[in-house]
Amino acid sequence: MKKILFIIIGLSSLLFAETVEEYISKSKVAAQSGNLKQATEIMETAIVEHPQSADAYAQYGLYLSQLAGQASFLKAGMLSDKSFKQHDKALEIEQGHMYATLYRGILGVNVPKFMGKLKQAIKDLEFVQKRYGKNSQIFLTSSYYLGLGYLKNKEQEKARLNFKFIVMYGKDSSYYKDAKAQYEKLTAKSTPEKSDNSYREAMKCLENNQLNDALKYFRISAKQDSSNLELYLIYARTLGNIAGQDYDETIAEDITYRASLAHEVFEVLSHCVELAPGDDEIRFLRGSVAINLPFFVNSLDTGIEDLTYLSEQGKTNETKAKASFLLKKGIELKQTFELAEAGYNADSDEEKQKLLSKFITTKSPINQTKPEGDYLKIEMTLGYRDQIAPQTAVWIEDAAGNYIKTIYISGFAANVKDKQMHLPRWAESSEFRNIAAVTGASIDCGKHLFYWDFTDFSGNQIKDNKFTIHTEICHWPHVQYVERNLEIDLEKDKEFRTTSSNFLIPELVANWISHKKN
């Protein structure tokens, strides 16, 4: 009788379970009514019940990407990353799946270039255009986003041809208006400045240390004379000098400007290597720069290849020695990235804890002066290490949650101000009040020491004995984020500590240095 009952229950669950098509249909109704969250939740259930459905993962990924378009910068990064994973899973189940490939391509074009998804996005959209181009709507959609992708990748002629197709054959499509504007902009003829004049102007600007103006002229000159190696080397050096400047308030005007410079310097140096493939000095220059560029340029492997070649086949012993020295750094960076990837993909806190000991700690750049009189000593341990140092904030709030003072803030986050979404809690609480003195270089894996003299951001003495130390951290490229707090009550104790299984900030310790607070 029990066996019969189990069979009946099993059959009834199969009979009443919704198909993937039914889930997708329900989700589309929710999405069209403006409830993206509900649509996402419906497809979340669908992939649990149908874990081998590429259609379900592709639709789920689509809604995640649409949610990303409505979210803050940090949340958008997390949602986009999750969306990519759903499309990857769909393509793992069904290679060449039309919608998963199309949606992944569109998302890759739309996310910031520094996420390193553009080249794969272009491949995806080219594949869709060739494989599924008989479907007119799919061809128009892939043409539009390919145009945007090519434009972003500085392939203007390819972009122009894709926009031209929409202008000619897609007048009734939603892409027509923007495609027409892009096409006209790319087709418009302008009289370029002569290369020699631009070069002279660029050199004059360099003499006057007007780096940004020089860069504008070098770009014009390089387009007119792409075979001039000397021009390209000076062009690359100018880019490097601009990129090497500290963050300032101009970063808030264009938060992607530094990312664009990093891509550009790698492209210019690669062109130099193409012009002089047998020149060890130029290859060494590209290799040494490539291993130090941000992760989103995807230049690390090229740098390692250059330095490996020179360490083995360099024309002089000095070149071999220098290349071998930097090659070790490149390999260490590669290992750091692989370890960060392992940490990001770890399924449990226990697995992440095991990885902690493998992360190489760094020397703290923080060297704050101990205050005179009473103060709070704050020691924060960062456990996880990504390919680049994270953005981090440490600040104080009173027991009611009112902002008192920032103790430390990373340079990038401090300078992008209201456009900064890496550290949303700190941005909301501090409103960027009096942070110049505590803005510093980014901190990384290891222990970091800070001091608070019991004053607020205006320098007034705080009389309260209860407050909270807030810390917030955001890692790229793996979009790891956490906020960790430590409540302080000086009436009860002098030493305070919080530990966590979360390995971004595994420990936060505070000590009151005084017998009595004034």
Percentage of residues in the chain having pLDDT higher than 90: 58
Q: Confirm if 40 and 67 have CB atoms less than 8 A apart.
A: yes
What confidence tier does 448 reach under pLDDT thresholds 50, 70, 90?
Answer: very high
Mean pLDDT of 12-16: 44
Strand partners, 439: 409
Least Cα distance to 471 among 369, 353, 352, 381 occurs for 381
The predicted pLDDT at position 193 comes to 47
* CA dist., res. 191 & res. 364, Å (int): 52
Percentage of residues in the chain having pLDDT higher than 70: 91
The predicted pLDDT at position 437 comes to 87
What confidence tier does 277 reach under pLDDT thresholds 50, 70, 90?
Answer: very high
**What interhelical angle do 280-290 and 300-313 show, nearest 10?**
140
Encoded tokens for 269: 């140096």
The predicted pLDDT at position 503 comes to 80
Strand partners, 225: none
Encoded tokens for 178: 């923007």
For 12, 272, 325, 389, the CA distances from 480, given in Å and listed in that order, are: 42, 36, 31, 12
* CA dist., res. 420 & res. 413, Å (int): 6
The predicted pLDDT at position 5 comes to 46
Mean pLDDT of 397-418: 88
What confidence tier does 190 reach under pLDDT thresholds 50, 70, 90?
Answer: very low
Instruction: Please give the backbone phi and psi of residue 64, each rounded to the nearest 5 degrees, phi first.
Output: -60, -40
pLDDT at 420 over 70: no
| Amino acid at residue number 268 | V
What confidence tier does 136 reach under pLDDT thresholds 50, 70, 90?
Answer: confident
Would you say the pTM of this structure is higher than 0.75?
no
Neighbours of 130 (CB within 10 A): 10
Chain position carrying tokens 């520094």: 114
Domains and CATH numbers, the chain: 2-132 (1.25.40.10), 195-337 (1.25.40.10), 375-513 (2.60.40)
Q: Confirm if 46 and 77 have CB atoms less than 8 A apart.
A: no
Task: Specify the DSSP element, H or E, that contains 487.
Answer: strand 480-489
Using CB atoms within 10 Å of the CB of residue 363, give its burial: 0 to 12 exposed, 13 to 18 middle, 19+ buried. Answer: exposed
The predicted pLDDT at position 77 comes to 78
Listing DSSP states for 314-351 in one string gives -SSHHHHHHHHHHHHHHHHHHHHHHHHHHHHH-SSHHH
Mean pLDDT of 317-331: 94
* CA dist., res. 325 & res. 3, Å (int): 70
* CA dist., res. 484 & res. 408, Å (int): 15
Q: What sign has the CA pseudo-torsion 35, 41, 44, 46?
A: negative
The predicted pLDDT at position 265 comes to 92
Mean pLDDT of 391-406: 95
The predicted pLDDT at position 479 comes to 75
